[in-house]
Amino acid sequence: MASTPQSRTKSPTIKRILREAAELTSTPSPDYTAEPLETDLFEWHFTLRGPPHSAYSDGLYHGRIILPSTYPLRPPSFRFMTPNGRFEANREICLSISGHHEETWQPAWGIRTAIVALRSFMETDAHGQLGGYDTTEEVRRRLATESHSFRCPGCAKTNAEIIRECEERAKEADTDGQDVDIPEELSMGFKDQMGGTPENKSQAGGDTSDTNAASSSHPTPPNGTDHSAPSNIAEHPPPLSPRPAQAVPQPTRTIPAAHWQPQSRPAVNMMMRDPQNGVPIWIDRLIVGLVVVLAALVIKVMFGA
């Protein structure tokens, strides 16, 4: 197991990883094992037996688990390194317990639960999900036989050697490992099934689909009630249409403003006309008066001189 500085052991994520590693060591299972690398606690290697009563029953399969920095709030990602005929080697697997479908991951689940679920998923069909492919039973059985000699470059051990050590630890501990119940949320976790069956997605982010279904359900009753529904539809639009017609024309068409404009314009015209009609009268009178006064002054000046 990797050693970590004391400062890092205070992290909840590090504590969780160390606790799970210790739990897998104290209660080993003869069918699977997993442990972190000595140089990186966030990268684990696992080895598991193929599910019994299947084409993988004789196989031993090795793979990697990558834990996110926020584990267990976010799920780990998985990839098989051993060719197996069910999952593509060295390609990330798309399952409900992997990083591709975070909405179905529960922090209460752990690496043991993920490995047991991953082992059970090997018996299912790929159905085109990411990292999975279909092949014949013959190819899967052949790959299962060849998987014993697969050697991980990092672990420097074959799958057969790793499982043999796992069986010995289980015998010494006198345990078959903990009984792990696979959560129901993980049973339908493939990519092509995530949109059709998961109830969690409909609760978390599927409200839009419910609203679309509800909106599509409203036009269906008129089809069922061929005559009554159209009559109801004909009755509802009239009250609805005048309402926007009354509200819209007032601000947009500015009907009241149209009435005020002709009233305001004549008033302005009258105000303009009154001074125009009055100005010539007063001006003429003033001009006449001034002319008379000036003429008198000029006469006085001329004759007086």
Active site residue ranges: 94
- 190: its two tokens: 């493939």
CA dist., res. 247 & res. 245, Å (int)? 6
Q: Where are the alpha helices (DSSP H) in the chain?
A: 6-9, 12-26, 111-121, 137-146, 159-173, 191-194, 199-204, 207-217, 220-224, 228-235, 237-240, 242-247, 255-304
Rounded CA gap, 241 and 70, in Å?
55
In this structure, are residues 255 and 249 in contact, taking their beta carbons and an 8 Å threshold?
yes
Q: What are phi and psi of 33, to 5 degrees?
A: -150, 155
Listed in sequence order, the residues at least 6 apart from 78 whose beta carbon sits closer than 8 Å to its beta carbon are 63, 64, 65, 92, 93, 95, 97, 98, 114, 118
CA distance 127 to 133: 7
Instruction: Using the structure block, give the residue that is written with the tokens 């419910």.
Output: 210
The distance between the two most distant Cα atoms of the chain, rounded to a whole number of Å, is 152
Give the position of tokens 């890092």. Answer: 8
